[in-house]
Chain A
Amino acid sequence: MMDVPSTGKMSRRTFLDYFLGLSVVAWLAAVLYPIIDYFRVPPQTEAAPSSVVAGSVKDFKPNSGKVFRFGNEPAILVDTPDGKLEAFSAVCTHLQCTVQYRPDMQRIWCACHGGVYDLNGRNISGPPPRPLTGYKVAVKGDDIVVSKS
């Protein structure tokens, strides 16, 4: 093949190489973009409730707890040994397992990594880095109503 003297200008061959290369990149982007975007989950329009009935006063006794559904998340209602009702998000702040009330420890406990919270929702032992989100509790008639603060 003959050497083409360099004139500082881009040769037709080099131009076509770049053009084809860019076309391939553009084609790949056009194919991959919709595929990647397809995996993005559309936002859910379902409204999260601000309060929920967690149960009836008759169903609870001191030193017990119950996990219940609050919108799309689990929440926990604790009837403390002193007979006080407290409610928190039941999602452990460590790695999102669902916590439970341990009457033997009188603490809220996570079975996954052994995180422990006191009855005010404060993380007191194990790996959880933050306290549980607290909710308001009100008794209306027989119903225990839990609402987001």
Chain B
Amino acid sequence: MNKESKMMRWLNERYNLSLIEHFAEEKKVPHFRGSFWYYFGGVSLFLFIVQVVTGILLLMYYQPGAQTAYESVRFIVMKVQFGWLIRSIHSWSANLMILSVIIHMFSVYFTKAFRKPRELTWYSGFILLALCLTFGFSGYLLPWNTLSYFATKVGTEIVGVVPFVGKPVMEVLRNGSDVTTATLTRFFALHVAVLPALFTVILGVHLLFIQVQGISEPESWKYLPESKKSHIPFFPNFVLRDVLLWLIVLNVLAILAVYFPWELGHKAEPFAPAPIGIKPEWYFLFMFQSLRFFPPKLLGVDGEVLGISLFGLAGFLWFLVPFWDSKTSKGSRNRIVNYVGIGVVLYIIVFTVIGARAK
């Protein structure tokens, strides 16, 4: 008897691993033309793991504070062995993770995988996306550079514009009425403790839902006989393909981190004017650009209040798609969902491009 099977027998006697084996053998993944999109959930998970690992490594040197935040990041980049690489991978993987999560969300939306009985998977996924964006926003401030300072000032002010609850929430976020180094402390706590804890729990719930219900079959399979449906085993076929894609993503990440290292910029100066050409991260660009187009007053309301309220409402309706699209779960086609989705994708792309090109 070889060593491996001896160890397996030892574990099996104590923990009954055959249950897991049986589960992995039984689990199947639908295989069709659009099944490529299924892999973005796994890619997002992989990038989250990269975030956790590189984030812990950065924590070994990073020091929040007015005189230390920027200096400690500069120390990581300039002095620490491979510090530049770790920081660059952390920043690039954060951006790729948000991109991957967005692609994952749209693929779930267009394949209508949010329909009954997977509503809670959609809701938990939407919360994960919101947490990802909060991760990005809070992490952006930590190097305490000029761009991050003004991005935080504008971003938290947007929260403050929300009627009734905005101002107190903004003050809690800023740890005061203005963005100061006190804000840095609060964002640091959020970024390294609160958000990872919340994210891990909700991610666990999200994955549990997927394991319990299995991966969603395409809408067109509803009336197909079982014999016509094509599946691949989750283990090892799907897992191996997933791992291969993870390796490709890791290579892309390495190329980006090495050839396009993330810039540190200039240290934040709270009493200097906002720098020319200031822009938020690409995933907030479409909202940023839209807010530039809103007039000062519209229908007697401040333009930014109206703009932010409209974005809030649109986000809420997007969150509620399993609720307002009752047709799909009953088996009939609902083209409105597709049109809304295409409209949203086009809007985001067009406004992101305009925002990126704007001077």
Contact = CB atoms under 8 A, between A and B. Distances in A.
B292 interface: yes
Interface stretch (B76-84, B235-243, B272-280): B272-280
B277 A111 contact: yes
Nearest to B273: A100
A121 interface: no
B297 to A, nearest CB: 6
Given A40-B172, A41-B175, A128 B296 contact: yes
Contacts of B303: 127, 129
- Interface size on A, as a range, is 20 to 34
Nearest to A72: B178
21 contacts: A40-B172, A41-B176, A41-B177, A67-B271, A67-B272, A68-B271, A72-B177, A74-B272, A95-B291, A95-B304, A97-B153, A97-B154, A97-B274, A99-B273, A111-B273, A112-B154, A126-B296, A127-B291, A127-B295, A129-B297, A129-B304
B171 interface: yes
A129 B161 CA distance: 13
B172 A96 contact: no
Secondary structure of the A side of the interface? loop
Interface in B200-222: none
Contact of B304 (A69, A72, A73, A94): A94
A96 B272 contact: no
Contact of A90 (B158, B161, B273, B277): B273
Nearest to A66: B273
Nearest to A67: B273
A21 interface: no
B150 interface: yes
Interface of B: 150, 153-154, 157-158, 161, 168, 171-172, 175-178, 182, 270-278, 288, 291-292, 294-297, 302-304
Contacts of B150: 97-98, 112
Nearest to B270: A74
A103 to B, nearest CB: 13
Contact of B154 (A67, A73, A95, A99): A95
B304 A96 contact: no
A127 B270 CA distance: 22
A126 B292 contact: yes
Top 4 A-B residue pairs of the complex, sorted by shortest distance between their CB atoms: A100-B273, A129-B296, A111-B274, A97-B274
Interface in A24-45: 39-41, 44
Contacts of B278: 97, 111-112
B49 to A, nearest CB: 30
A114 interface: yes
A71 to B, nearest CB: 10
A123 interface: yes
Nearest to A69: B271
Nearest to B276: A111
Nearest to B172: A39
